[in-house]
DNA sequence: CATATTTGATACCGATTGGTAACAATAAAC
DNA sequence: GTTTATTGTTACCAATCGGTATCAAATATG
């Protein structure tokens, strides 16, 4: 258990690190759709031979799963961070609306929701991970709403669970619209309308 | 220009009418997804040879387009009918919620929205038709909202166009959830919440 | 230097995709 | 009954899919 078990890279070194391959694959999946990017295409644009890719990830399922993991820690973590800042209802919702409707990183939608909407086309490992992340997101939304309810900011008759599901799906819808090319302003308007059920925005309709 | 130009069916008669083939293909596409049902599969379950199918529809694009047309006149017309009944806001929205969340025909979602969400995988003819039907739906929602606004039932600051888009997308979301296996009660709860921006339901929070 | 190890290149596999070319069988029209 | 039109059957096509076997090239370890 000493430092001897550090895997020393013997043999021919990697011309391209696994992380770079993952990033290239992630961006390709993200821009279009995992179902529309073949393993062959990933190898080509990543400059990696197919046998090498299969030696590293085992299968297409292994690759998409690794990509999803990387996407979760590099992108989805930002959404979770917004929820866990402990800010007020409106400030948080506005931040979510900003991110979903106008963040330049999400110009082609959200890779996670693309995977979720095409879940049946994914391998078992990736599909399982999609379900797990979906549950985590739901828990995150629920925890946020719980905090707002404790703070007396959301006294409505809607249950916590229903509110979390609603919030989650509205964000998902915004991302899917983004992927479809809807303009940020249009998405912002619709998402603002949808989330107005959690309390009216500061401006507009002061009545 | 007399009755002589009625096309008399000469030659070997069709063992299976085109309409039956269309219905079988429609149900197959509807149950799973157009992108997941190959032409080979359609031929097999419809009991039609592949050359015959290609003689009738020309291409896969022609088939999906014909299926979409049939779906529009057999299913989507029901949604349009709800909007054109001239009933009040709440009655109409409740009818829409009922249809989207619980109608047994929509148990596997809505074929139109499945096609729309996978639009890039369709042929040019079908894609064009999808856009047309989407525009028709939007116009239908807008006309309905216009009527409600004229009747003083919807005085909010939301523009007609934004309201129509919002309504359309919320219905679409409900259908997609249905296709994902979400329970009708859950969909009804979320859709009711989303459409509460058009006026609160009769029960609950009378304030 | 010699050896072990890992890479990339190439070529292949069986399966499936959308789409066709021939051709025999069949039935309506004449 | 002959002709004509249309069907189904069979077999095929090139392309692409995910996945692998083989082997030479390259490099870190010894």
Q: A168-188: per-residue pLDDT in tens?
A: 999 999 999 999 999 999 999
Contact A162 B189 (CB under 8 A): yes
Highest mean pLDDT among A47-51, B42-46, B134-138: B134-138
Minimum-distance CB partner of B197 among A36, A165, A197: A197
For residues B193 and B101, is the Cβ–Cβ distance under 8 A?
A: no
Reported as type and span, the H/E element at residue A50 is: helix A50-57
Alpha carbon of residue B176 to chain centroid = 12
Q: pLDDT tens digits for B25-54?
A: 999 999 999 999 999 999 999 989 899 999
CB-strand contact B59/D, under 7 Å: no
Reported as type and span, the H/E element at residue A71 is: helix A60-71
A43 CA: nearest nucleotide by C1': C8
Handedness of CA B122, B171, B29, B128 (dihedral sign): negative
Q: Please give the radius of gyration of chain B, using alpha carbons only, rounded to the nearest integer.
A: 20
The overall average pLDDT reported for chain B is 89
A42 CA: nearest nucleotide by C1': D18
Place of tokens 């995977």: A115
């Amino acid at each position: 258990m000493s430092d001897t078990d550090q895997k020393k890279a013997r043999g021919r070194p990697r011309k391209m690190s696994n992380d770079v391959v993952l990033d290239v694959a992630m961006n390709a999946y993200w821009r279009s759709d995992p179902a529309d990017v073949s393993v062959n295409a990933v190898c080509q644009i990543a400059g990696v031979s197919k046998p090498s890719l299969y030696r590293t990830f085992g299968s297409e399922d292994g690759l998409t799963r690794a990509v999803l993991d990387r996407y979760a820690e590099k992108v989805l973590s930002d959404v979770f961070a917004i929820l866990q800042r402990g800010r007020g209802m409106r400030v948080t919702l506005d931040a979510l609306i900003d991110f979903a409707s106008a963040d330049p990183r999400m110009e082609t939608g959200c890779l996670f929701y693309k995977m979720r909407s095409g879940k049946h086309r994914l391998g078992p490992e990736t599909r399982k991970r999609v379900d797990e992340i979906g549950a985590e997101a739901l828990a995150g939304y629920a925890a946020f709403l719980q905090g707002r309810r404790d703070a007396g900011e959301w006294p409505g008759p809607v249950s916590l669970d229903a509110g979390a599901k609603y919030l989650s799906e509205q964000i998902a819808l915004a991302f899917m619209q983004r992927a479809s090319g809807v303009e940020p302003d249009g998405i912002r308007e619709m998402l603002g309308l949808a989330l107005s059920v959690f309390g009216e925005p500061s401006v507009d309709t002061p009545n």
